Amino acid sequence: MAPPKTVTLNDGHVVPWLGFGTGTALYNADAEELVRLAIETGITHLDGAQVYENEDSLGAGIKASGKPRSELFITTKLRPLPEGQVIDVKALLKESLTKLGLDYVDLFLIHSPSPANKEGKLQDLWKQLEEVKTEGLAKSIGVSNFRVEDLQTVLETAKVIPAVNQIELHPYVWKAAQPIVDLGKKHGILTASYGGQTPVARVPGGPVDPALSTIRERLEKTRGAPVSAGQVLSKWLLQKGAIVITTTSKQSRIEEFIDTEKVPDLTEEEIQSIDEAGSKLHKRIFMRAVFGE
């Protein structure tokens, strides 16, 4: 099996373009079998979070796969804590590492800017992340669900620029997300996408569907092999400069995601057609309160 396509982060570490997420359908559920299946099928990037309440089973799935730690990229995220609560980032990360059965994670993210941004604590929170990176508990550090103003707040005092900002990204939020993605590019912050399959999985019959169908047919002719609408969306994300975090309970879908590497690129006109169709409907599924929706 060919090694997965990777992207180099601003700190020199390398991240596979495709990550298997343990949130959404696996939220507060046993992820062991699906994590093992994902790894055995060829995914080496696993995306967890403290708030998913399943880091122990993510760790069990990693162990059950038998895959060497050096060949895996593991992400977890700092849980948002209630307003007024003192946050000890190092202690919380060490709890995660114990559950995961690991000495370090490859990437540690602040899961949400809220409520720290309302309390004026984002810069302190980021400083604590810089400290766990210095100690080697996290190889890379970043953020998630950060808006332009949240990123700017962190950048004002950051000694380490965030390596990643993981956000909901698909055509129905592209118009709103583009300034966040652009600011990331300016500072070398990689955008990681989640919810990328929303037009297919959550908004069937939406304005993007005809564009996906037309592009899919063209790609199938070019490739001489089947291409799914989901693969078109993944290519769109990759060509926007984002990596893809996704999840599924089916091996066939895991194989389909991996197979996206072999799908030809979209043309500029095709990307534009998806952008324009997506701009006709704004549909955010996750973290709506953070974005004031």
Which residues are marked as active site? 52
Indicate the pairing of strand 6-8 with strand 14-16: antiparallel
SS3 116: coil
SS3 51: helix
d(CA 199, CA 212): 9
Concatenate the DSSP letters of all residues of 234-252 into one string.
HHHHHHTTEEEEE--S-HH
Among candidate residues 265, 274, 207, 258, the one with its CA nearest the CA of residue 238? 265
d(CA 133, CA 160): 9
Q: Which amino acid is at 279?
A: S
Among candidate residues 19, 277, 18, 268, the one with its CA nearest the CA of residue 171? 277
Alpha helices in the chain (DSSP H): 32-41, 55-65, 89-100, 122-134, 148-157, 174-187, 198-201, 209-223, 229-239, 251-259, 268-278
Centroid of chain to Cα 97 = 20
170 labeled part of a ligand binding site: no
d(CA 121, CA 109): 15
Annotated binding site for substrate: 111
Q: Which residues are annotated as a binding site?
A: 111
